[in-house]
Amino acid sequence: MDDLEKAILILFDEWGGPIDEGLKKQAKDYCDENKEKPLICSVCIEKLCFSNSAQVQFWCLQTLHEVIRVRYTSMSLDEKFFIRKSVFSFACLEAIDENNVARVLEGPAFIKNKLAQVLVTLIYFEYPLIWPSVFVDFMPHLSKGAVVIDMFCRVLNALDEEVISLDYPRTSEELEAAGRIKDAMRHQCISQIVRAWYDIVSLYRNSDQELCTSVLESMRRYISWIDIGLIVNDAFLPLLFDIVLAGGLLEQFRGAAAGCLLAVVSKRMESQAKLSLLQSLQISRVFGLVAEDGDSELVSSIATLLTGYAQEVLECFKRLNSEEAKSVSMELLNEALPSVFYVMQNCEVDASFSIVQFLSSYVGTMKSLSPLREKQLVHVGHILEVIRAQICYDPTYRNNLDILDKIGREEQDRMVEFRKDLFVLLRNVGRVAPDVTQVFIRNVCVSSVASSPDRNVEEVEAALALFYALGESVSEDSMRSGSGLLSELVVMLLSTRFPCHSHRLVALAYLETVTRYMKHVQENTQYIPNVLTAFLDERGIHHPNINVSRRASYLFMRVVKLLKVNLVPFIEKILQSLQDTVAQFTSMDYALKDHSGCEDGSHIFEAIGLLIGMEDVPLEKQSEYLSALLTPLCQQVEALLMNAELLSPEEAPAKFAIIQQIIVAINSLSKGFSERLVTTSRPAIGLMFKQTLDVLLQVLVVYPKIEPLRIKVTSFIHRMVDTLGASVFPYLPKALEQLLAESEPKEMVGFLLLLNQIICKFNMLFHDILEEVFPTIAGRIFNVIPRDAVPSGPGTNTEEIRELQELQRTLYTFLHVITTHKLSSVFLSPKSRPYLDPIMQLLLYSSCNHKDILVRKGCVQIFITLIKDWCASPYSEEKVPGFQGFIIEHFATNCCLYSVLDRSFEFRDANTYVLFGEIVLAQKVMYEKFGDAFLRYFLSKGFPAAHCSQDLAEQYCQRLQGNDIKALKSFYQSHIENLRMQQNGSLVFR
């Protein structure tokens, strides 16, 4: 054994004893050095002749493969000939010379595959121009038996994978080589290869079925591009069907024959010729095989063949226009579909076949067959059964889905995604054959109720899911009238108690389906008691699973919104039924549970608010109901606040959680009461909410630094602004003072949003309160935010920076709201004056430089409004000393000229173009308010710095003094673009 062989064995960890990393690296370096030697191909071939080590053989073949690929063009003719002759001899089990008979084919499969890859690399470079006889020369050697036949199959497989198949990405050079090789093979040798395939399969079908399987699997790869007549003839086709149908043969062998038939069926050709081919196949001979054993490899192959056949027949039906062709296609399809449906429900189908796509395509063809014939109606039933089977959850996950652990959540998410296309298909079926669809769903529901509870969780859930999805294909008029079987289905749904209703999946599907059909109940109010019972008993709000009961609360709230007035006679019953739920919501156990997600159970209070907040409820009853809810909740808060100083750190979290729950409950309850009702028609109700607000504001006094409580109280004030209208005013100074007292920067965002809401609702009425709080707000904010840009870029994506960015963004909105609601005088109050300059500087910087174009637009709009508010007319006395000079000298030049000259200002961007419109409007407003003072400075300082000609400056003056703002905008854009071209990036304006 020489050093190279030793190095190879060390590299592959095949050297006896432990090998350290240093030695392994030495071995690798030594092998790599040898690869670079000029005679390495000869060395490799020599070792392939004599070495019995699979590792050495593999390294030599791998090296040959690499060297041929990289150095082929630079090799001498003699070297190429030697390599070609040697590699071909290895593949054909030939002696290289008188003394050397290579035994590579006696090695393991990975050695033979690598040898095939080397030979295919030579074919890539040399066939057909240099080595035209490679395939023809191989043929006589096949008589040597299974070893050479197997090698020939490996070569053909490698040729397909490495060069021909389009399943892998190819370069243009590779595509050209593939075309050249296929053309040459078609012209020269493919008929001989096909003959060899036939002879081998015929000869060995009983003695070596594994070899025959390899041959057929190779053949399958080539059918797509060879002359189909070589396979579809009186010799080969009967042989393939004979193998598929023969009972005593290996399943893999029969499956390989089915794969060849699928390749025949899938071959691309002109549609009429394809239809004739499909008709001649008499594929019905194999239909019975799919029922043999649902899990076998053969059945999977037959299933794939049948689905592929059905797809091709359907394509013929769609593409051919003659009545005869359509009739033949439909006849073939009708013959195949029952077996295809059986396959879809019971067998593994090849991943390349999309069940939904095929069925959707078939349903699409049904639209042209209206009215449907009897066979099509039967097929519709089969399609519905396929959908039902496909959407059923796997019982393996039953417990996971009930408790919704990590596995259950993943399975649910997967199924939600998987069902989307199936439900689209169901809607299409429902439109094509509504009666059949409704009958099917009724039967599925009846069947699922009748089956035993231990096995039908998945069946019931699937039945309900089908019924729910059906609602999307039903028109609103049909839904209301309950046309067809719809009314019967809804009644059955409302009156049914499924045996597995305790399971989370079934309970949720049931409630969602009931809610989906509420429009029918709205028109048929006799079913309201059934609806209420379903939601209020253990199937809904009183379901033992908290996730179900919370979802039921939300859905019940939606039902109440829809049925509203119709529910007035049932209010007493509903409230009695919900007493325990309402009490439980503010209990310690409930408060401390995880309420992540949008459904925390508070929707039940919103539902109650919607019920009792109607004017149809008599005032006395309304007051009684509301008091019965608010009084105990407020008393609970007062009790918790009273003993605040005695609270230990261990008790505090639970108490805070209860207070939060109570505020959430009252907040949700108030959503059912309109401003008109509580302030105009029934002020006594408004008084009850004011008293509640009084109590809840005490939370800020007692617990000023508990952030979650502050957030909840702020949310309630938002609610009361909407509900109580102007009558909330007396409470605002105290509320805002308390919120402002301890607010951190991140809490200031919520505070500003509250002020924005109040300003938008009350405008000038809010002036005095805003004037009082604004200096404190400005002081807090300017203490923490920078006067220009918040840091960005690498290393700045911290929570603190994100909070500052959000605060700055909210501040821009706040300033915009103030100015656009005629409250800009607030900036000028004696206490606010110190902050006027920082505000102006921030707005100026942001109007020119902010990365968010919408922020820049907002800042420009603020300046436009301030100019209008604070500047009466040209030559009049300044209302705000220094403001006019600031606008002319800084805003006009920096924002209206220099910022738009910057090439980052992209006119093609829609938002940027809107900003540009505001900038042009600002110039118009400045001219109207400042007159020549603005023009003189803009033309004498701004335009010359931008190298603007006198002629263009005069044109600008004319456009600005005119009345056509569109013409001004168009001129100014072309003006800016011309200036950019002149500068060619040589100047940066800032």
To the nearest 5 percent, what fractions of the chain are helix, strand and coil? Answer: 75, 0, 25
pTM comes to 0.78
Residues 77-101, mean pLDDT to the nearest whole number: 85
987 pLDDT higher than 60: no
365-418 pLDDT, tens per residue? 988 877 888 889 999 999 999 999 999 999 999 999 999 999 999 999 999 999
Q: Residue 949's pLDDT is what? A: 82
Non-local CB neighbours of 361 within 8 Å, separated by 6+ positions: 314, 318
Q: Residue 985's pLDDT is what? A: 46
CA distance 60 to 19: 22
Can you read off the two tokens belonging to residue 734? 């105290």
Give me the chain's average pLDDT, please. Answer: 91
- Percentage of residues of the chain with pLDDT beyond 90: 72
- Counting every residue, how long is the chain? 990
295 pLDDT higher than 50: yes
Non-local CB neighbours of 815 within 8 Å, separated by 6+ positions: 839, 843, 862
Q: Which residue has the higher pLDDT, 586 or 172?
A: 172
Residue 560, number of CB atoms within 10 A of its CB: 22
Element (H, E) at 870: helix 853-870
424-476 pLDDT, tens per residue? 999 999 989 988 999 999 999 888 877 776 668 999 999 999 999 998 888 88
Q: Residue 875's pLDDT is what? A: 62
Q: Residue 989's pLDDT is what? A: 41
Residue 317, number of CB atoms within 10 A of its CB: 22
How many Cα atoms are found within 13 Å in the side-chain-facing hemisphere of 140? 5
Q: If we measure between CA atoms, which residue out of 115, 117, 119, 120 comes closest to residue 105?
A: 115
| Backbone phi and psi for residue 95, each to the nearest 5 degrees, phi listed first | -75, 135
- Percentage of residues of the chain with pLDDT beyond 70: 95
132-153 pLDDT, tens per residue? 999 999 999 999 999 999 999 9
Residue 380, number of CB atoms within 10 A of its CB: 22
In 440-468, which positions are buried (b, 16+ CB within 10 angstroms) versus exposed (e)?
bbbebbeebbeeeeeebbbbbbbbbbbbb
Q: Residue 125's pLDDT is what? A: 95
Decide: residue 403, CB within 10 A, 0-12 exposed, 13-18 middle, 19+ buried.
exposed
Least confidently predicted of 96-100, 294-298, 360-364: 96-100
| Rounded (10°) angle between helices 109-126 and 54-71 | 20
SS3 per residue for 631-674: HHHHHHHHHHHHCHHHCCCCCHHHHHHHHHHHHHHHHHHHCCCC
Q: Residue 205's pLDDT is what? A: 95
Q: Residue 990's pLDDT is what? A: 39
574 pLDDT higher than 70: yes
pLDDT band at 293, cuts 50/70/90?
A: low
108-140 pLDDT, tens per residue? 999 999 999 999 999 999 999 999 999 999 999
789 pLDDT higher than 80: no
98 pLDDT higher than 60: no
Can you read off the two tokens belonging to residue 560? 């109440």
592 pLDDT higher than 70: no
727-756 pLDDT, tens per residue? 999 999 999 999 888 777 678 899 999 999
